[in-house]
Amino acid sequence: MTNHNALISDAKGSIGVAVRVPNQSLFSPGGGRYISIPRKKLVQKLETDPSQTRTHSWIEAMRASSPTRTRPENISSLPESDEEDEYSSWIAQHPSALTMFEEIAEASKGKQIVMFLDYDGTLSPIVENPDRAYMSDEMREAVKGVARYFPTAIVTGRCRDKVRRFVKLPGLYYAGSHGMDIKGPSKKTKHNKNNKGVLFQAANEFLPMIDQVSKCLVEKMRDIEGANVENNKFCVSVHYRCVDQKDWGLVAEHVTSILSEYPKLRLTQGRKVLEIRPTIKWDKGKALEFLLESLGFANSNDVLPIYIGDDRTDEDAFKVLKKKGQGFGILVSKVPKETSATYSLQEPSEVGEFLQRLVEWKQMSLRG
């Protein structure tokens, strides 16, 4: 078997390691990458079990993707003006969808807007207990208004039934488990005139395996304070938002240990959550394409998809829109992030404001 880890020496004689992360890992949805580990950490790893290197790389990723509310360590010595310059540069590339609303409205003329919305961090705030991620009544009214004029889908990593109970709106398309479980309105609607219910489940054969992994993780995480295992039907989420950082290594160790016994499953990562999914080629981008086709807009130039999301899993949908050169991705974030989205919004309250403006614009255009 080929060894994909390589020792690297620099001019000063210091040693590091580059760990190749395969496609099945959370770092490389589109191909392997190399992660550099400093000499000190390398020595620590060589003194322990080398097989833990991959687990260690996941711990590092957990830390890197979980910034605190304080300034990041790598820029703590920089003046705030430099941070502001960095943000200004980023916002110039991904301007606010509120500021650029007229441009979005102009692009939609003569086209059917189709709205795609993530849930956590987009329609609801990120909370410590994922079972209490409720959306506000104002946000519900905004989504309801949008769905009155445009086909609207909720695309989430959550279990489809659970997110539907959160949203409490009929007439929407719900795509749970990162798009692996899709169900449309069962009754005739303005956007579903054929009264054809959409139902798509991409990974039914994995259900027993996912259920078994979920039960194993629940047992393993029982002694880790703050760990929360959520069975989302077609994937399993391990939330570590409330876990003390000193125990993150134990979380990663348990997850990777169990995952090693299931080669048909893979590990991905979101905002303070590790997610175990089937290895099938399906994600939120594929779900977006499937729903557009179901609505009769496959290869159509008369449609303008808008996708709003805050997580790295939403990047798959942003990339689809960018590749098509059609529609807009809108990233919800207060900090600069590498993204394929066109525009940005800072938080769920701005998402609600954007949706409300879209409704008001549509109402005015109908009257005018």
Residue pLDDT, tens place only, 272-285: 899 999 999 999 99
pTM, two decimal places: 0.77
Can you give the pLDDT at residue 11? 37
Q: Exposure of 84 by Cβ count < 10 A (0-12 exposed, 13-18 middle, 19+ buried)? A: exposed
**Catalytic residue (choose from 10, 118, 137, 316):** 118
Can you give the pLDDT at residue 177? 94
Confirm whether 82 is a catalytic residue. no
Residue 116 CB neighbours (<10 A): 27
In the chain, which stretches have pLDDT less than 50?
1-51, 67-77, 195
Instruction: Give exposure, 14-40, as e/b (b: 16+ Cβ within 10 Å).
Output: eebbebbbeeebbbebeeeeebebebe
Can you give the pLDDT at residue 202? 85
Cα–Cα nearest to 134, from 104, 158, 112, 103: 158
* pLDDT tens digits, 172-228: 999 999 999 999 997 666 666 554 667 898 889 999 999 999 999 999 999 999 999
